Amino acid sequence: MQAQVERLMAEMTLAEKIGQLNLLAAGEGLVTGAAQSTPLARRLDSGEVGAIFGTKSLASARAMQERALEGSRLRIPLFFAEDVIHGHRTVFPLPVALACSWDLDLVEDTAAFAAAEAASEGIHQVYAPMIDVSRDPRWGRIAESPGEDPLLASRFAVAATRGFQGGGIGEPDRVAACLKHFVAYGAPDSGRDYDNASLSWEDLLAIYLPPFTAGLQAGAASVMAAFNAVNKLPMHANAPLIQGWLRGTSGFNGLVVSDYTGVKELTPHGLGPAAVVVARALHAGIDMDMVGEDYLAELPALAETGLDAPEAGLSFGASRIREMIDTACRRVLTFKASLGLLDDPFHGMSGTAAPSRSDGRKLARRAAARSTVLLKNDNVLPIAQSTRVALVGPFARDRRNMLGTWAVSGNWDDVVPLDAAITALTGTAPATAWGVNITDRDWLAARLNVHGVTVETDPRSEDELIAEALDAARQSDIIIAALGEAKEHAGESSSALSPALPEAHLRLVRALKATGKPVAAIVFAGRPLALGDLPETADALLYAWHGGIAGPEGVADLLFGAAAPSGRLCVTLPAHPGETPVSHAEEPTGRPFPGRFAKFRTGWLDMPDGLTRYPFGFGLGYAPIRYGAPSLSSTVADVSQKVLLRLTIENTGQTEAIETVQLYASDPVARITRPARFLVDFKQLTLSPGEARELVFEIRADQFAYPVAPSLESAEWVRDPGLVQLHVGPNSRDTDTVELTWSS
């Protein structure tokens, strides 16, 4: 394979090498006939494109490949990429939802199905998984994130990478994964998308880089740079992190691509004019320039004259520029060789059958049920199928929003809405009413003018809508309230100052509760929302996210007992929208927060009492689970030993249960302030009614290593002897503790 690459490199002109670094969007330039002349077509004809993303059919991909081969003197093929964030044609739950399953086999299965669908349409690379750890619900792209914890995100990265790539990216039903966004894109200073991240090197190394380490170790073939700056240096020019940590420390020699116009955006970041930022990006290790075409425009001259820019602290000779072009081009060609494209330019385009859509729907339905988190249940759920149900709220009949953000190849017509899902499951149609319009949020109308209205509007007043909902409620035995936010309220460029359930929805539930009928509330959303008094008002509460094409069907399965709730939060649900950023791994202070405002203690003066914060890892089932007392095989151990933590888990209920047992740790005495508790392991098991099982966790000293980093280059991972505390339980808050002492 490498011999092929070197043979091509020896024959290529400088212009041909630079052309390989140009990554363009299909857009309006889809080539369906030789007579067409579009900007993209002209680039293909002149051999100035290395890859294309955004193709929407196998036919268009084949047509572009044919045209590219005709325009390439050496017949170097394109590769094709697409955003396959949470499914391709079959849209699965949002990544933040899927991570709430804590089911790594499920994550791998959904990625493998998405890969097969994408590959059947000629796609070779997917811009996924997105593995940005995020602890700020204000940030819109938390919808695409695996949540707030680096260990869970790392295992998500491994499972998704394996699902996408299988045994190799050249297999006919697999694609190349692209880990994104490198790095700390989920840690913006303000919660605003694209904003910069200023954080300690210890946090970068311990929180935001581990998922990338895990994905690389799983064999991920490519990485995408992030839009943000990290500690003042934009990632598209961040040589210390890309060339230093990614290429050097981690040993990654695969493909690094820019994000959409990411190289061009270095200029408004303040790093200089086009020629300067192109040199900086190439030097930092960005192999391909997406859409901006700055490489194409600037590199020919730079390769002839070099760059001397003392105002930017840069000086590169022409020979050095040509060396960097060669290095990047070699990586692009090696990537294509790994895909099998140098042997067969139409590899993956020979009509490989797409996987069964019916199988995909079954998987999507199971994923939706496993991703939904039961937060409260006062003996209301599951509902008997003969029960008279009133279904109210703006998402009772909704299809459009169920796909969520970044479902670029999905079709909302594939969604079975909640009212139809309940009817199909029970054989009886529920009494339905809107009850409230989602546009009741004051600022929402303006946003929808930008994004396009996706929730049906109603000219009636809120009082009239609630009156209709109450009429339906009075005819029922139980009320199901379908609440939440539109899909545009989360995702790229969709950050929010107040990530909270709209007040109009809370008013609706209060009015429904006043009927005396039990109320089961369902929240469909793309981000973790502060729920106000909903946890206290509703009798049952499900957090269903935006669950994909079968999201409402998965919810219906849970409501009526066709599936058992097993989801556990991968993010903390804040008690108040201002309680952000927030996570289970908050660091202790000298004046600890007691859970409410107290003089001379960490806290908020204006935090109302009585609001519920749902902790990371929280989730209920229909069967009660009894945790036995944990015990250790040894309470004092040498660092070379493995200590076993044992406990018994018992299902004391009458139905099958899926339980996720979580193990956290604390390091009470360390060289720096450490998290009050951090996740070190988890295990998921299925228990039959009455079944008890012993669970064993293996504890190793290296699980307690942490970085001390005056700078990135001087970072040292250390582990201290002495006491550690181990906390085991069903979530990050409700745990039993045992203590272990490591000798030197």
Q: What is the pLDDT at residue 37?
A: 58
User: What's the rounded Cα separation, in Å, for the pair 618 and 595?
Assistant: 18
Q: In what order do the strands lie in the sheet with 389-392?
A: 373-377, 540-543, 519-524, 478-484, 389-392, 431-433
Stretch 120-129: mean pLDDT, rounded? 97
**The pLDDT of residue 31 is above 70:** no
The 10 Å Cβ neighbour count of residue 407 is 25
For 165, residues 6+ apart whose C-beta sits below 8 A from its C-beta are 115, 174, 175, 176, 177, 219, 220, 221
Stretch 176-181: mean pLDDT, rounded? 98
Q: What is the pLDDT at residue 433?
A: 81
Q: What is the pLDDT at residue 36?
A: 52
**The pLDDT of residue 480 is above 60:** yes
Sign of torsion over alpha carbons 552, 556, 559, 562:
negative
262-284 pLDDT, tens digit each: 999 999 999 999 999 999 999 99
What three-state secondary structure class fits 724? strand
**Concatenated DSSP letters for 245-280?**
IIIIIS---SEEE--TTTTTTHIIIII-SHHHHHHH
Is the CB of residue 108 less than 8 Å from the CB of residue 159? yes
The 10 Å Cβ neighbour count of residue 157 is 28
Residue 690: both structure tokens together: 């009455």
Is the CB of residue 34 less than 8 Å from the CB of residue 68? no
Q: What is the pLDDT at residue 397?
A: 92
Q: If pLDDT is split at 50, 70 and 90, which confidence band does 458 have?
A: low
Q: What is the pLDDT at residue 456?
A: 56
**The pLDDT of residue 437 is above 60:** no
Question: 651 forms bridges with which residues in the sheet?
Answer: 625
What is the distance, to the nearest Å, from the Cα of residue 263 to the centroid of all Cα atoms in its chain? 23
Q: If pLDDT is split at 50, 70 and 90, which confidence band does 445 have?
A: very low
Q: What is the pLDDT at residue 32?
A: 40
**Active site residue: 259, 294, 667, 681, which one?**
259
User: What's the rounded Cα separation, in Å, for the pair 616 and 588?
Assistant: 17
Question: Is 259 an annotated catalytic residue?
Answer: yes
Q: Would you say domain 625-742 falls under CATH 2.60.40.10?
A: yes
Is the CB of residue 630 less than 8 Å from the CB of residue 646? yes
The 10 Å Cβ neighbour count of residue 654 is 10
Q: If pLDDT is split at 50, 70 and 90, which confidence band does 30 have?
A: very low
Nearest in space to 148 (alpha carbons), one of 734, 737, 732: 732
The 10 Å Cβ neighbour count of residue 652 is 14
Is the CB of residue 73 less than 8 Å from the CB of residue 48? no
For 355, residues 6+ apart whose C-beta sits below 8 A from its C-beta are 113, 116, 117, 120, 173
Q: What is the pLDDT at residue 460?
A: 76
Largest CA distance in the chain: 80
548-560 pLDDT, tens digit each: 999 999 999 999 9
Query: What residues does each domain of the chain span?
Result: 364-559, 625-742
If you compute the radius of gyration of the chain from its CA atoms, what whole number of angstroms results?
27
Is the CB of residue 421 less than 8 Å from the CB of residue 556? yes
Q: What is the pLDDT at residue 264?
A: 98
User: What's the rounded Cα separation, in Å, for the pair 115 and 113?
Assistant: 5
**The pLDDT of residue 185 is above 60:** yes
**The pLDDT of residue 236 is above 80:** yes
Pairing of strands 643-651, 631-632: antiparallel
Name all contacts of 298-305 with Cβ < 8 Å and 24+ positions apart: 298/274, 299/18, 299/21, 299/325, 300/14, 300/15, 300/18, 301/275, 302/275, 302/278, 303/14, 303/18
User: What's the rounded Cα separation, in Å, for the pair 653 and 215?
Assistant: 38
Residue 690 exposed, middle or buried by CB count within 10 Å (0-12, 13-18, 19+): exposed
Q: What is the pLDDT at residue 380?
A: 97
Stretch 318-328: mean pLDDT, rounded? 98
Q: What is the pLDDT at residue 587?
A: 92
Stretch 144-164: mean pLDDT, rounded? 98
Q: If pLDDT is split at 50, 70 and 90, which confidence band does 431 have?
A: confident
- Kind and range of the H or E run holding 71: helix 58-71
587-626 pLDDT, tens digit each: 988 887 776 667 666 777 787 777 788 999 999 999 999 9
Burial 706-733 (b: 16+ CB within 10 A, else e): bbebeebeebeeeebeeebebbbbbbbb
User: Angle at Cα 461 formed by Cα 456 and Cα 466, nearest 5°?
Assistant: 85
Q: What is the pLDDT at residue 597?
A: 64
371-397 pLDDT, tens digit each: 999 999 999 999 999 999 999 998 999
DSSP 530: B
What three-state secondary structure class fits 97? helix
Sign of torsion over alpha carbons 37, 43, 47, 49:
negative
Q: Determine the residue type at 455.
A: V
Stretch 15-19: mean pLDDT, rounded? 98
Q: What is the pLDDT at residue 654?
A: 95
DSSP 526: S
User: What's the rounded Cα separation, in Å, for the pair 714 and 716?
Assistant: 6
Q: H helices of 430-550, where?
A: 444-451, 462-474, 503-513, 534-537
Which backbone phi and psi does 242 adopt, to 5 degrees? -85, -60
Specify the fold of 364-559.
Rossmann fold (3.40.50)
User: What's the rounded Cα separation, in Å, for the pair 453 and 488?
Assistant: 9
* Percent of the chain with pLDDT strictly greater than 70: 94
User: Angle at Cα 635 formed by Cα 633 and Cα 636, nearest 5°?
Assistant: 115
Q: What is the pLDDT at residue 33?
A: 41
Residue 2: both structure tokens together: 């490498």
User: What's the mean pLDDT when you consider all of the chain?
Assistant: 93
**The pLDDT of residue 206 is above 50:** yes
Q: What is the pLDDT at residue 425?
A: 96
- Kind and range of the H or E run holding 662: strand 657-666
Nearest in space to 395 (alpha carbons), one of 544, 248, 219: 544
Stretch 363-371: mean pLDDT, rounded? 98
Tokens 């690094």 belong to which residue? Answer: 256
497-538 pLDDT, tens digit each: 999 999 989 999 999 999 999 999 999 999 999 999 999 999
Following CA atoms 243, 248, 249, 250 in sequence, which dihedral angle do they give, to the nearest 10 degrees? 90
User: What's the rounded Cα separation, in Å, for the pair 692 and 458?
Assistant: 53
Give the chain's end-to-end CA distance (angstroms, integer): 48
Is the CB of residue 718 less than 8 Å from the CB of residue 671? yes
Angle at which helix 318-338 crosses helix 294-305, to 10 degrees, equals 140
Residue 465: both structure tokens together: 């809508």
Is the CB of residue 638 less than 8 Å from the CB of residue 743? yes
